[in-house]
Structure 1
Amino acid sequence: MLQTMEISLTPFDAARIVLEHVQASGMTVECVGQHATATEAGHQTALLIFEKYYMRTSSRASLTVLLENLAGPTKAVFRGSGGGEGALFRFDWGASADFAASVVDALEPYATA
């Protein structure tokens, strides 16, 4: 399920904070993609994609974070996924939720709603 937070930062400032916090959350975390766009009207979007190796599940989890202020205050929309064992089962022992929690930890001080 997608998680959403409304925050008091610009998307670009929030992206810097998330990037620093998530990458500091473990040695096996890597930002595998990022994209940012700004309009002349002052709207911004930032997309961050992370991967993290979890030894307890012997697999990688991904984290996708979108930060945008296109229709009002800045929103962070994010989702952890992957991290499951085997090809048939999606049970991940909490790896994806743990990964997504790092975004909440980074942005909680700036939450407005």
Structure 2
Amino acid sequence: MEVKDFKVSISPREAAEVLEKHMDEDVLGEILDAYELQTEQVEVVMRLFEKYYMRSSNRATLTFLASNLDGVTHVHLAAGGGGQGMIFRFDWGAGEDFVELAEDALRQYMLE
């Protein structure tokens, strides 16, 4: 499982839209689920993507979670499910690749 956390200069919803467009046009990742929670001050956005990786002969999932609870948009990416078999969870780098594809889509908005 691969996990990344970083901050971006756009809203959680905008970050989700950038990622959705990138997944749809460039990565061929399919969106499986979407969830949003918004109040006057706080926004939380979740997306669940799936992509088939030939190198692992399996599908990998990517969970995107963005929130602005403290006024800055935090992005959390977690990939999993790309391993082969019931015992071995080795995914031949599929999880790391999926996270990097999402990170690349948001790179121009990253802070720090």
TM-score by length of 2: 0.92
Question: Does residue 24 of the first structure (1) align with residue 21 of the second (2)?
Answer: no
What letter corresponds to residue 33 of structure 1 in structure 2? D
Is the 8 Å Cα contact of residues 48 and 62 (structure 2) preserved in structure 1? Answer: yes
Aligned equivalent of 2:5: 4
User: Residues 25 and 102 of structure 1 are in contact (CA less than 8 Å); yes or no, is this contact kept in structure 2?
Assistant: no
In 2, the alpha carbon distance for the partners of 1:107 and 1:23 equals 14
Percent identity, aligned pairs only, is 38
TM-score, normalised relative to structure 1? 0.92
Over the aligned positions, Cα root-mean-square deviation in angstroms equals 1.2
Moved more, 15-24 or 93-102: 15-24
Q: Structure 2: how far apart are the matches of 1:3 and 1:70?
A: 18
Aligned positions of 1:1-113 closer than 5 A:
1-27=2-28, 29-41=29-41, 43-113=42-112
The alignment of Structure 1 onto Structure 2 pairs a total of residues equal to 111
Structure 1 residue ranges, 4+ long, deviating more than 4 angstroms after superposition: none
Structure 1's unaligned 5+ residue stretches are none
**Do 1:52 and 1:60's aligned partners in 2 also have CA atoms closer than 8 Å?**
yes
Q: Deviations over 1:32-81 (max 9, x none)?
A: 0001111022x211100011111121111000000110123101001111
Task: Report the 3-state secondary structure (helix = DSSP H, G, I; strand = E; otherwise coil) of the residue aligned with 1:2.
Answer: strand
Identify unmatched segments of 5+ residues in structure 2. Answer: none
In 2, the alpha carbon distance for the partners of 1:58 and 1:20 equals 25
